[in-house]
Amino acid sequence: MASFEALLLGWYEHSGRDLPWRRTRDPYSILVSEVMLQQTQVERVIPRYVRWLERWPTAAALADAPLGDVIREWQGLGYNRRAVRLHRAAQRVAASGWPDDLTALPGVGRYTADAVARFALEQDVLPVDTNVRRVVDRTGGAFGSVSAHALIDLGATVCLARVPRCGLCPLSAKCPARGRRYEPLRKQSRFEGSFRQKRARVLSLVAQGTRPASELDGDAVAALVRDGLVRLEDELVSLP
């Protein structure tokens, strides 16, 4: 019987997703996609990724951009600190080149570093995100770096967190977890009425133009200042 990996790769040949960042080996483009995809749905990322690279096609171009423009362009993707870190990473790359250890770049953790190493630099490393870990844990299979995109897609579209689509899975005949259902690992706190929402509202207003601090939520402004997303001078709040 074919191995898990052979079955998975066969499935991926005809069922893998055609995503714009899979058509490049440019490390900067891959880094942009990976940062955008953190906690953001693929469908939302695709048009923003394309627009971003049209505006800033290289790390040097992004590094030269005013941080305020970068934050403004990021609006709508959420978790805005990612924009600041991506900008800092681009500045580091533009100044010193790509480090051997990509986790040396601001905001780049183990998964993102491995993803850039695999998808851009073609290194023999398997990036393990939530989707990949789920498939590996449930199947108990052994997968190499060649299966990275296939594992991501299977976890994102078939081997779902709560109710896996086992009837569509190429690994189901051999999978020890076939037919199981799962409780959510954790409940995400509500955005509506949260402090995160207050921060987002304030940043959205400031992105439209400088605002008097007196018109804005003081705690949200203070948090945004600490994160480098806005600056407060002479009681006026503006983008950096």
Residue 154 to residues 24, 104, 173, 234, Cα–Cα distance (Å): 21, 30, 15, 53
**β-bridge mates for residue 233, sequence order:** 236
Long-range contacts of 54-63 (CB under 8 A, 24+ apart): 56/90, 58/28, 59/28, 59/89, 59/90, 59/93, 59/94, 60/90, 60/94, 62/28, 62/86, 62/87, 62/90, 63/87, 63/90, 63/91, 63/93, 63/94, 63/95
Angle, CA of 122, 104 and 25, to the nearest 5°: 25
Which residues, at least 6 apart from 2, have a Cβ–Cβ distance to it below 8 Å? Answer: 10
Of 34, 54, 183, 215, the catalytic one is: 34
In this structure, the chain runs to a length of 240
Phi, psi of 231 (to 5 degrees): -125, 150
Q: Is 43 an active-site residue?
A: no
> In this structure, are residues 93 and 35 in contact, taking their beta carbons and an 8 Å threshold?
no
Identify which of 47, 39, 32 has the alpha carbon closest to the alpha carbon of residue 119.
32
Is the distance from CB of 87 to CB of 67 less than 8 angstroms? Answer: yes
Active centre residues (catalytic): 34
